[in-house]
Structure 1
Amino acid sequence: SSYNKKHLLMGILGGFFLSLHFSFWISSLKFTSVASSVVLVATNPIFVGLFSYLFFKEKQPAELILGIILSFLGSIILVVGDSGLQGLTVQNPSFLLGDILAFLGAIMASGYLMVGSKLREEMDVLPYISMVYTFSASFLLISSISLGIPFTGYKLSSYFYMVLLAIVSQLIGHTAFNWALKHLKASMVAITILGEPIGASILAYIIFRETIKSFQS
């Protein structure tokens, strides 16, 4: 299908949000644990519910509001577990920075889902993802070149994992979310992402031997 001016402008915005989501989230993994990063970035239902009400006047059911509150409280517990009450600002800045980056990633993911929910009302999934993924990749390419990030010199296994991320996480995972946006509210799609921390934490334990603190689980 053809793209009109509205589609292109919103596609640029959606691609921008998606590129920032990846930038913040992937960067957070350098400073904090996989479990903390994924749990925090999966709090995006908080912002999807809030933005849906503020910008589109969509009323959220009581169950969703309760879930948002519990998700927010869980995020606070997680951050304290990483940094400690006394170390939130000075004693453990590395973990705190990682948690903040993951949290910003959640906000950007929410913007991406909100834009997608509106565009999917008018567009089929393939034209939509072709446009948004292209804009997102372009933003990431420009920022990588600007920051002097090299594209070569990594281990062969690293390139293998990059391909897996592109195929499994992006083309399959994100496309499934984008397909669902035409049939479900953005807030409901966002809630399904809450399953990510469970799988990611299990994989992090198996692959990296990262332990999960009792109160974080």
Structure 2
Amino acid sequence: MPKPAVNPLVAVFVGVIAVSFSALFVRLCTAPALIIATYRLLFTFLALAPFTLMQPRILLALDRRQILLSAASGLFLALHLVTWFTSLRYTSVASSTVLVTTQPVFVVIGSLLFFKEHISRRAIFGGCLALLGSVIIGASDFKAGGTALYGDLLALLAAVLVSGYLLIGRQLRKDIPLQGYTFVTYGVSSLTLTLAALVSKTPFTGYPARDWLLFIALALVCTVMGHTVFNWVLKYVSASVVSVSILGEPLGAILWAGIFLGEPPELRQIIGGSIIFCGLYLFTQVTAKAPQPAQ
């Protein structure tokens, strides 16, 4: 394997920092959640599509099944972004980002149900810990008021939806290159969100200049420099390293929320979040050691 031009561990660190800005950018944006998600995926697609189109053989090599599954993955991604971005309107950045990070638990539950994959006792224990932390955060928000609890439930739903996206992607990436997969997935996701905005008559324009800068930042910083970097780095480091590193995303998001939004985490969020992180650390150490797909 040729030596990469960039140190993979440095790339992982950059990726974690990049994705940690997602919640902050969404909260700073005045546009509806649907429009934020639409432009994030649309601008990401437009930024990456030329690199795929320069290698048309990648797209021509995709069969009907791979195209349909990539399209389904795009639908899950679109629903995930809208649901998560909406949750940030109702609950705190701390609660929302910590709860949406529970997605590895739902990924493995899906793997068990659909692919009959084995789950170790250690992984089950870690998953139960993560869900316990989620209950602690949700129960506290129930006492605080129904609005915060609604946001928490949306964040958990967003975790379930992104799990569908990840489950399909993990299976497809064994057979198709990253460029082909992201072209179809991001393309279908962008189209789905655009159609949803048209049907709901949500305006595409009329937003302040800062919102447009935030749309671009969400695409280039959080998606291209974040999620796409994680996909690239899997060629050089184990999935367990990436999975555990991604747990730093909510920590960064909570830090930015405290600095820029005046939202320091509350005690119950610290307790619930700590339990979730401990559970997910155990969980990902066991479940993220599967063989890596071809890049």
Q: What TM-score do the two structures reach when normalised by structure 1?
A: 0.89
- Contact kept? 1:29, 1:37, Cα under 8 Å: yes
Q: Structure 2 vs 1, CA of residues 138 and 43 (structure 1 numbering), >3 Å: closer, same or farther?
A: same
Could you tell me which of 153, 157, 173 is aligned with 2:210? 157
Equivalent position amino acid for 2:123 in 1: L
Could you tell me which of 159, 183, 191 is aligned with 1:138? 191
* Residue of structure 1 in register with 2:90 after alignment: 31
Deviation at 1:75, TM superposition (A): 0.5
Deviation at 1:175, TM superposition (A): 1.6
Say whether 1:43 aligns with 2:102.
yes
Q: How does 1:59-98 map to 2 (within 5 A)?
A: 59-84=118-143, 92-98=145-151
Q: Structure 2 vs 1, CA of residues 44 and 183 (structure 1 numbering), >3 Å: closer, same or farther?
A: farther
Say whether 1:210 aligns with 2:263.
yes
Deviation at 1:193, TM superposition (A): 3.5
CA distance in 2 between partners of 1:188 and 1:49 (Å): 17
Q: Please give the root-mean-square deviation of Cα atoms over the aligned residues, in Å.
A: 2.2
CA distance in 2 between partners of 1:197 and 1:98 (Å): 16
Consecutive unaligned residues of structure 1, counting only runs of 5 or more, are none
Aligned residues: 211
* Residue of structure 2 in register with 1:124 after alignment: 177
* Residue of structure 2 in register with 1:195 after alignment: 248
CA distance in 1 between partners of 2:153 and 2:268 (Å): 20
CA distance in 1 between partners of 2:148 and 2:256 (Å): 20
Q: Which moved more, 1:56-65 or 1:189-198?
A: 189-198
Q: Structure 2 vs 1, CA of residues 135 and 181 (structure 1 numbering), >3 Å: closer, same or farther?
A: farther
Q: Which moved more, 1:167-176 or 1:1-10?
A: 167-176
Q: Which moved more, 1:109-118 or 1:126-135?
A: 126-135
Q: What TM-score do the two structures reach when normalised by structure 2?
A: 0.66
Consecutive unaligned residues of structure 2, counting only runs of 5 or more, are 1-57, 271-295
